[in-house]
Amino acid sequence: MLRSVAVVGAGATGTSAVVHLARCGVAQRIDVFEPGAIGHGDAFSSTDPALLCNTSADSMSLMADRPDDFVDYLHGLGFPVTPLDCVPRYLFAQYCRDRYLGVRSAASALGVHLQHHREKVVSVAGAGPGYTLRTGSGAEWPADAVMLCMGMDAWTPPVIRPFRSYSGVTPASALGPAAALPHDARVLVLGSRLSAVDAVITLGRSGARVQMASPSGTLPSVRTRMYPDSSASGSLTALAGHPWVETTDAGQAERFVAGLVRCLAGHGRPHLRDQLSLAHDPVERLRAEITIAEEGRNFWQELTVEFIALTNEWLLRQPPAVWQDFWVIVEDVLDRYISAMPVSNAKKLLSLADAGRLEVGRRRPTELTRTGDRWAMKWRDGSCDHFDAVVYATGYRPPSMRCSEGRLLLGEHRRGAPAALSADLRVDLGRDMDERVFAVGQCSATRVPLVHGVVAVVPQISRVVRELRALPARSCRGVGQSLPVFHP
C-alpha cells in the first residue's frame, strides 16, 4: 500500500478516481485538491432541473466494476428512472457527492484518511522518489503518486475577450435559469455543440429569440441510447484482432475509420444513409434526425461506447502524425455523433425553431462592439447583426501542463515545455524514471482524444488505479513520516 496519493481536481473524473482509490485500498492517505464542490466541475454544477445529462444513466456509473451504480443510486432515492433516461444534471453531482462521502466514511473505518483541500494545485515537483504538490496559498503537500483530474479549460474566442467582464456577455456555464433579459430579447449564442444547446434551452424558456452561430453551423446528432438494446451482435469488440484494428501503420487512419463505419451498417442493420440525415439546413437535419431516432433507425448510437473505447486504444498505439490525421476526421465528421444530444433536448430546440425563436447558422464572428445597451456582431461575410446579449459556448481546451526542471507547472505559464504523456498516461517530468503522476479524464485529451464522457473516463481510471495498486511503496515522504510543510 502506498502512503499517500494526491488527486488534483474532483469533477466527475476526480470523484471517480477517489472512489476507485478508496475501494481498492491503494493508499493510507488520499488528499483531494478541489477549490469547488466535489463532483460538480463545469458540467454538473447547474441546479436547473431542465438541464439534462447528455448521456443515459446506464453510462454514468463512477465505478468500473458496477456499471449500474448510478441507476441503482437513483432507484435508491425513489426516482423511477430507466437506464436509458437522461436525468437532470444536478442528480449526477449529488451522486458524486454521496459516493464520495460514502467512501470517506468507509475509508475512515479502515484507518484510511481522505481529505478535501479547497485549493488549486499550482505545481507538482519530483522530490526524490515522491512528489511535492504546491497549492495556490503556498502550502506544500507530499504524495507518493498523483492523479491529475483537472478537466478542460473553457476557451474564450478573441472576439469576446475584451468584453469578458461586461454584463451582457456571458459564458454558457454561467447562464442561470433566470437570465435577466428584456422581454423578447434577441440573443446571440456563439457555438453549436452541447453547451450551446443547453444555453438555447435556458434562453428559450425566458422567451428570448436566439441566433446560434458557429463556423460549422452543425448541431449535434440525436440519440435515444448508447448501448445495444439486446444482443451485442455485430458489436465492434468482435473486431479486435483484425489487421486494420491492430495496425501501427501511420497511413491507416482512414482505413480504420472506414472499417468502423462499415460495421455501423452491417449485421442486418439499415444502410448508413437510412440511419443518418445529410440535410444541408441544420434545422431540417435536426427534424429528420429526431424522426430517425424516434423510429429507432439510428443504430450507430448503439456502438458509441465501443467506438470510443476501441478508437482510444488504437490511437494510444499510434505516432502523433496518425493522431492528427484521425482527429481531423473525428472533428469534421464523427464528433456530432459521439457527442449527440438526447432526443428530448432535440425536440425542445426544434419547437423553438418552428416557433421562429431559433435560427442556426454557419458564421464566423470577426468583431463585437457595444452600441448603447446593445451589441453589434460583424461576421466574416461583411454583414452585421444586433443583439441584446451574447452567450458564448465556444468549447474547451486541455489545461496547460508544462514541465520545467522536474516540476510540472499547472495553469498559465510560459516556462518549460508542454508535458508529454506516455501511452499509460504517465506524465514525463523530464527525470530518468517511471513517474507516478498520471493524467486522466479530460486533461489527458492531448494523448487520448475521446474522453468527452464519464463512460470513456472511468475505464481509464480503473486501469491507472490497478497500476498504482501494483506498485511497491517507494521510500519517500508520506503520512506518518512528516506533516505537510506550510509556506506563507
| Site residues for ligand FAD per CB under 6 A | 8-9, 11-14, 33-36, 41-43, 53-55, 60, 120-121, 149-152, 194-195, 198, 410, 441-442, 452-455, 457
**Closest distance of CB 127 from ligand FAD, Å:** 18
**Closest distance of CB 95 from ligand FAD, Å:** 12
Is 379 or 396 the residue whose CB approaches ligand FAD more closely?
Answer: 396
**Closest distance of CB 86 from ligand FAD, Å:** 7
Centre a 10 Å sphere on the Cβ of residue 321 and count the other Cβ atoms it contains: 11
Is 159 or 455 the residue whose CB approaches ligand FAD more closely?
Answer: 455
**Closest distance of CB 256 from ligand FAD, Å:** 24
- Asked if 398 and 152 count as a contact pair (C-beta separation under 8 A), the reply is yes
Cα of first residue to Cα of last residue in the chain, in angstroms, is 32
Centre a 10 Å sphere on the Cβ of residue 176 and count the other Cβ atoms it contains: 11
**Closest distance of CB 228 from ligand FAD, Å:** 19
Is 199 or 368 the residue whose CB approaches ligand FAD more closely?
Answer: 199
Among 436, 386, 382, 367, which Cα is nearest to 142's?
Answer: 436
Is 11 or 449 the residue whose CB approaches ligand FAD more closely?
Answer: 11
**Closest distance of CB 85 from ligand FAD, Å:** 12
**Closest distance of CB 40 from ligand FAD, Å:** 6
Q: Can you state the angle between helices 253-265 and 304-316, rounded to 10 degrees?
A: 160
Sheet of 401-404: strand order equals 140-143, 130-135, 121-127, 407-410, 401-404, 417-418
Is 12 or 315 the residue whose CB approaches ligand FAD more closely?
Answer: 12
Is 259 or 484 the residue whose CB approaches ligand FAD more closely?
Answer: 484
Locus of grid cell 457555438: 191
**Closest distance of CB 458 from ligand FAD, Å:** 9
Is 62 or 322 the residue whose CB approaches ligand FAD more closely?
Answer: 62
Give residue number: closest CB to ligand FAD. Answer: 41
**Cell numbers found for residue 316:** 494510444
In terms of Cβ atoms closer than 10 Å to its own Cβ (0-12, 13-18, 19+), residue 84 is: middle
Is 445 or 479 the residue whose CB approaches ligand FAD more closely?
Answer: 445
Burial per residue of 135-145, b for 16 or more beta-carbon CB atoms within 10 angstroms, e otherwise: beeebebbbbb
- Asked if 410 and 8 count as a contact pair (C-beta separation under 8 A), the reply is yes
**Closest distance of CB 348 from ligand FAD, Å:** 15
Is 42 or 85 the residue whose CB approaches ligand FAD more closely?
Answer: 42
Phi-psi region of 62 (alpha: psi -120 to 50; beta: other; left: phi over 0): alpha
**Closest distance of CB 410 from ligand FAD, Å:** 4
Is 212 or 457 the residue whose CB approaches ligand FAD more closely?
Answer: 457
